Structure 1
């Protein structure tokens, strides 16, 4: 089974004219979206703080985070992005998928739009 990827445009939330186009693998095991630091810095996205993350191997690492506008399949949302270091993978995480109202179809493995849920 192949991996699902998404074509996304990442915008600086304070200057939407600064953006970059990426094709990111979708990782439904990753909460947040990870993008290489130099790419985020290229469009002047600044870190706001540092967070601790647990890796799949159980190690604890620290990375800077910031905010970016993520656009995919005609949807846009401001989401947290992690400033990935050289040895880190770039991925589109679940937080971005949910914020964009997107999901991976379990049968076709294609990205698709979904309706937002309202729990009463």
Structure 2
């Protein structure tokens, strides 16, 4: 089963998206902020995917989580999300995909099904 770390500070969005990801066959470990995500990466080891909001409270961003996830498992694939335009964000890792919030769950599932390869980015 594909292991996925989902990091989202909005509780409703986190719950609904987690349910959809699990229904699609992913083993989902969820975190409510970057600090919890870093702890989970340390406790659970590497993940196949990390899907994370970029801007979160607590001083640890989705970019920090992405960097830690890559150190934990170099082949980990990233989907980073934000309600901000990419021009308003720091530079994203070259191999990470970006999804604008709000997003449609079927679009996220399609991105993951495609293997979240950089060539699939819009």
The bucket for the TM-score relative to the shorter chain is: under 0.3
Which structure: larger Rg? 1
Q: Which has the higher contact order (CA 8 A, sep 6+)?
A: 1
User: TM-score, normalized by length of structure 2?
Assistant: 0.26
Q: Which of the two has greater strand per residue?
A: 1
User: TM-score, normalized by length of structure 1?
Assistant: 0.26
Q: Which of the two has greater helix per residue?
A: 2
